[in-house]
A and B are shown apart, each in its own frame.
Chain A
């Protein structure tokens, strides 16, 4: 019963390097999300995909890009990593579109450090 799977779990990048965080869900959910969580702050939405084929910016999209590859997969790309992007990143999915926000299921998180 995998749920939401994120890879990698840990990553250290040098400033200016690029990387892609992978996320896949096996619950047939329509909506998927990428959040970052910093100490003392709430989860902040980076990008979301309400349904397959659509993506939209969240609260903090600068420095990131996303791809909704298919219904299962939603990736987050850092094109040129900066120390300010050091954070814990969570992917999440939720069941329905068009009926308001419902329960979100989270992946285990990616702990990213940019040096």
Chain B
């Protein structure tokens, strides 16, 4: 069974601090890695994707990938109350280019 594991939270972070969200995956064949944000009652929206080992930065967001450890993380700098949401990690199924395996998400709360 291919799995993506995330701590369900809630993760509580003070406004202005760095929020660190983590994800581990079981499928060594996974090639692409995605972070989606989902506000309560809304649909997921893509924040970042990463294909290669290392870091990828986009504004306040940094995705980190370590394929050897099968570990993906998302850092949010200068956290804002509007960042409060559930963050979903998704990785491609190594056996298919068209399917994603999703984690259950981490609920992040930014406290003013």
- Mark A residues whose CB is within 8 Å of B: 31, 40-45, 48, 50, 56, 58-59, 90, 98-101, 103-104, 106-109
Contact = CB atoms under 8 A, between A and B. Distances in A.
A91 to B, nearest CB: 9
A48 B32 CA distance: 18
B71 interface: no
B102 A106 contact: no
B104 A45 contact: no
B31 A43 contact: no
A107 B104 CA distance: 19
Contacts, number: 54
Contacts of B97: 98-101
Q: Chain A at the B interface: mostly helix, strand, loop or mixed? A: loop
A48 B99 contact: yes
B92 interface: yes
Contacts of A108: 42-43
A48 B98 CA distance: 8
A4 to B, nearest CB: 8
A103 B103 CA distance: 16
B100 interface: yes
24 contacts: A40-B104, A41-B104, A42-B90, A42-B101, A42-B103, A43-B44, A43-B88, A43-B90, A43-B100, A43-B102, A45-B99, A48-B99, A50-B98, A58-B99, A90-B44, A100-B31, A100-B97, A101-B99, A103-B34, A103-B49, A104-B46, A106-B45, A108-B43, A109-B43
